[in-house]
Amino acid sequence: MSADQPHAIRFLDALPASARQQLESISSTREYPPGAVLFQEGSEHDDIYLIVTGTVRLEMLVRDRGRLPLMTLGPGDLLGWSPLFGGHPMTATAIALQAVRVICFDGQELRGLCETNHEVGYHVMRQLALVLSDRLLATRLQLLDLFHKDLPIQPAPRDPEC
């Protein structure tokens, strides 16, 4: 979150300057080469990431089908929020598709900051809710794409104002 970081990181852009400064005090920057595993599904993991550059694929192990891609994340996306809630295993595996640079937060430190500084906590949780909303929409669209042949076609309801 230093001067060499682009300001195009959506998660941080919506935060007030005071909250960004607090987050900067507990952040670090890391780089991962293509093919690096940032975290593994089912494992305990301590870090939360904001992608600055590069892309990361999220994968999930599906019985009888192997490892399947869920989505690809890029600059501005939040990755690995489970540590923010403490004690929850990672629900996917994250693999760098390109060289990746991230802003990294220790989940325990970030959780502690949110608990002690309610202004920061509110803004972080608000941004997290927006991220989760986007991911839920992406999941719905994937399901519609997967099952589109099995869904009955229904005409759109008429809008009485048209």
Give, for all 162 residues of the chain, the pLDDT tens digit. 543 554 447 788 888 898 889 999 999 999 999 999 999 999 999 999 999 999 999 999 989 988 989 889 999 898 998 888 877 889 999 999 999 999 999 999 999 999 999 998 998 888 888 888 888 888 788 777 767 666 566 666 666 665
pLDDT at 128 (0 to 100): 86
- In one letter, which amino acid is 67? R
pLDDT at 99 (0 to 100): 97
Helix 17-24 to helix 107-116 angle, to the nearest 10 degrees? Answer: 140
C-beta of residue 110 within 8 angstroms of C-beta of residue 27 = no
pLDDT at 84 (0 to 100): 84
CATH 3.20.20.70 corresponds to the domain 10-138: no
Dist CA 121 CA 127 (whole Å): 10
Domain ranges for the chain, please list them: 10-138
